Structure 1
Amino acid sequence: MDQASIDRYADLVIKKGINLQKGKGVVVLTGPGTYYFARALSKSAYRNGASFVQVLLDDLDVLAERLNAQDDAQLKFSPAFLKALDHEFCAEGWSYIRIDSTEDRLDHPVLDQHKNQVYGKAKREFSEVRSKKLMRDQLAWCVCCAPGNLWAHQVLGEHASAEDLFDVLNPILLLDQPDPQGAWEEKNAMLDRRRDFLNDLHIDRLHFLSSKTDLTIGFTERSRFTGGAALLPEGIRFFPNLPTEEIFTTPDRLRAQGYVTTTKPVNVMENVTEEVRFTFENGKVVDYTAKTGKEALDAFFSVDEGTRRLGEVALVDETSPIAQSNLIFHSILLDENASCHLALGDGYPSTLEGGNALSSDEQLHQAGCNTSLMHIDFMIGSKDMTIIAYTRDGASVKLMEQGKFVF
């Protein structure tokens, strides 16, 4: 990857991803393997008027050592200066960029599962205020990825390089277009049309049906589909994910019935899960099996009650450029945008009419929105997936057949 290409990508994330406003600060979270891109993002942010950029390092190798060396009480500690950073971040309207840790998940010792659960839960509780603001689109944020050699080997084979993977990602990120930022505006217009079609149906429930899935998910009258760019309260647009292909909403936390099977690997509590089958009754996971990663799911479901209910339903069809690549990227950012998916855990108040005004868990629950410290996406889409919408006036509308939208 030449520096000019990296800088072009960084400019896309800064200008279109978080839509940086002059005089605002930026926090970038990266692992060691993608620090080169954090540096490029930081430089681009300063070129585009950032007041300050703080790069935070998430090093799984160091974390593994901490988990081995400390007891549960010690693992719950976070220093006060991080709380102060969160406070300034929220008070001053900073932007947040997270580089998916695809490279570093492949280069660290095994993490103690119990201790990692204790550490992760305490960390999420510590930053709960910031997380809630991000989930409500009250602060600009963007999740992106950056190729490295280890990730390239995982996706493309042992002889592949980071440059080879970047070649694959270029058209997915629309960086192959003469004007990538303009190309994302065109993509957003297409997602807006899909969003509007779904919202105009006034959907009561969706029925997902394939050879491995038979699941019905209900929605409240307040549920609204969204996708592509999001809006800050002051009307500034940003892209929470680059790339993005999904149209999503928050379901009724009490209305999921049937079973569903995952179709792509998902990293849960830093462990890989595969072919997970969830069985739902009255919105709650009552049984689950997995070809791989059952113990990680055990730990996930013990975090809080909200992990057993749905917080998101997202529709993506098989024509997306990520799906057309026929690759498994082992990255939620990319794999979720190649496939319909469900998230267990925290819901998005921003996708409920008037949802951002709801502050307490009780208010959110009454509106049908799930709450949890966790939010993990599980891909369920396939080439034999059919989705039928049942509207509030009693009509049925086929949305997807053989994994492709029919509207």
Structure 2
Amino acid sequence: MDLQKIAKRIINENLSVKEKEMVVISAGPKSLKFAEMLAYESSMIGAQPAIMYGSSEHILKTYKNINSKFLRNIPELSKIISRNSDVEIHIDESNPFLDRQLPQNKLEIRRKTVKPLRDFVEKRILKKTIKSVLMGFPTEEEAKALGINFNKLNRIFWNTLDVDYNELYKFNKKLSKHFKNADKIRITGKNTDLKLSVKGRPALNSCGLWEKEKGGFFNLPDGELFFAPVENSANGEIYFDLPTLWHYGKQVEGVWFKFKNGKVVEYQIDKGKEAFEDIISNASGNKLNIAELGIGTNPRARPTGGLTIVDEKVMGTIHLAIGNNIGFGGKSDATIHWDFFKEMRNKSLLEVDGKPVMVNGKFVD
């Protein structure tokens, strides 16, 4: 795998970085060399890169020992960066075994403190005055937490990222025609019969190309069509048969939600219920409100057992999120955004205004 070639494509094609643009790259110890590759490619076209470094060990030690009052201080450096950077590349290097030890109460204090900064950046993203990408980066610790061989996880991740993004854009654009002027969506399957509305909410083509995205934020790897559903519209039940690994290292599996007027009113969880309740109890805002409906469209993606940035892109699956959707046209404001994945290739159906669009994981022409 030629990582330098991938870095060059990310800078020049995915992000379309220009001369004199300020490029801020966030990385950890295992992704630092790749961050340097991104910085090099930025410099080669006359952009101005800077690398911000942090490790899971440092973050855990800080959060365990810091006085909570200091977490309420607005980070002035972050404020300067959020106002002045042209490009932000966040490399999500994770050690779930350390991340799951982070005190959720302190994390929530910090999330509330930096929320005005996050809201400001999200407004810039919607206006396309900043290019922002969240990129995964597989680690041995992440593979162990997912219960998958690292070489397999590494191969799946980079294969998923190495998709033809122009073809992905075309596929998503064609699929989005099924949702033009759409209102009612119904999802049925195992322990699932959920209805929701996307009336007035456009299908967002997440294709990994900044110049073709409607907003300025995307993932790498990418490949989904997604919506911010009408906040009070979800009613019924849905079962997520694929596991999810929360951003702070906590895995949940076999999740069943019952929605009423857009909110989760009942839930059952086969594995990780305590972790789910710990995160939810410490979050604030509309944390149990439906936030997103996404449809995986990356033909190279394969399930990893819970790595969100890959698993939500798998063709033949859908995902729902609860929590925040302000950044992509919704009105649900919360300090978390949590995705849950559903396999659709096992006697499942997605209908749009009564017409089938996905039958057993296959798209209808």
TM range (shorter): 0.7 to 0.9
Task: Structure 2: state its 5+ residue gaps.
Answer: none
2-structure distance, mates of 1:288, 1:235: 34
Partner of 1:388 in structure 2?
Answer: 351
* 1:67 pairs with one of 47, 51, 63: 63
Shift of 1:126: 4.2
Equivalence for 2:191: 212
2:185 matched to 1:185?
no
Deviation at 1:99, TM superposition (A): 1.5
Residue identity opposite 1:311 in structure 2? A
1:357 paired residue number: none
Distance 2:268 2:129 in 1: 37
Aligned length: 360
For residue 273 of structure 1, report the CA deviation from its aligned partner: 1.9
Structure 1 residue 340 displacement after superposition: 0.7
Correspondence 1:141 to 2:129:
no
User: Partners in 2 of 1:114 and 1:16 — Cα distance?
Assistant: 40
Residue 334 of structure 1: which of 286, 301, 310 is its match?
Answer: 310
SS in 2 for 1:372: coil
Q: Does residue 232 of structure 2 align to residue 254 of structure 1?
A: yes
Residues 109 and 237 from structure 1, CA distance in 2 versus in 1: closer, same or farther, beyond 3 angstroms? closer
Q: 1:289 to 1:73 in 2, by over 3 A?
A: farther
- Are the structure 2 counterparts of residues 204 and 153 from structure 1 closer, same or farther at C-alpha, using a change threshold of 3 Å? same
SS in 2 for 1:308: coil
Counterparts of residues 354-369 of structure 1 (less than 5 Å): 369=331
Aligned to 2:119: 128
Superposition TM-score, scaled by structure 1 size: 0.79
Match of 1:403 among 358, 361, 364: 361
Name the CA shift for 1:342/1:138 in 2 (closer, same or farther; >3 Å): farther
In the alignment, does 2:116 pair up with 1:116?
A: no
**Is the CA contact 1:30–1:57 (under 8 Å) kept in the aligned structure 2?**
yes
**For residues 300 and 187 of structure 1, what CA distance do their matches in structure 2 show?**
34
Question: Alignment partner for residue 13 of structure 1, among 10, 13, 25?
Answer: 10
How far the C-alpha of 1:406 sits from its partner, in A, is 1.6
Q: By how many angstroms is 1:252 displaced?
A: 0.4
Distance of 2:341 and 2:63 partners within structure 1: 30
| Cα displacement (A) at 1:292 | 3.0
Percent of pairs with identical residues: 20
Q: 1:275 to 1:134 in 2, by over 3 A?
A: farther
Is structure 2 residue 264 aligned with structure 1 residue 306?
Answer: no
Deviation string, structure 1 residues 76-96 (Cα, Å, up to 9, x no partner): 23432222222222xxxx111
Work out the CA distance in 2 between the residues paired with 1:155 and 1:46: 36
Measured after TM superposition, the shift of residue 167 of structure 1 is: 3.9
1:263 and 2:241 matched: yes
Contact 2:291–2:321 at 8 Å: present in 1 too? yes
Which blocks of at least 5 consecutive residues in structure 1 are unaligned? 176-182, 352-363, 391-395
**Cα gap change, 1:308/1:148 in structure 2, threshold over 3 Å: closer, same or farther?**
closer
* Counterparts of 1:42 and 1:106, CA distance in 2: 29
**Take 2:326 and 2:119, find their aligned partners in 1: how far apart are those partners?**
14
Separation of aligned partners in 2, 1:188 and 1:140? 18
| Structure with greater strand percent | 2
Matching residue within 148, 159, 176 for 1:195: 176
Are the equivalent residues in 1 in contact too, given 2:208–2:218 (CA < 8 A)? yes
Q: TM-score, normalised by structure 2?
A: 0.87
**Any idea what the Cα deviations from partners look like across 1:163-188, whole Å, max 9, x if unmatched?**
x654444442236xxxxxxx321221
Is 1:101 paired with 2:98?
no
Q: Hey, what's the Cα distance between the residues in 2 that align with 1:99 and 1:376? A: 18
Q: Is the 8 A contact 1:311 1:371 kept in 2?
A: no
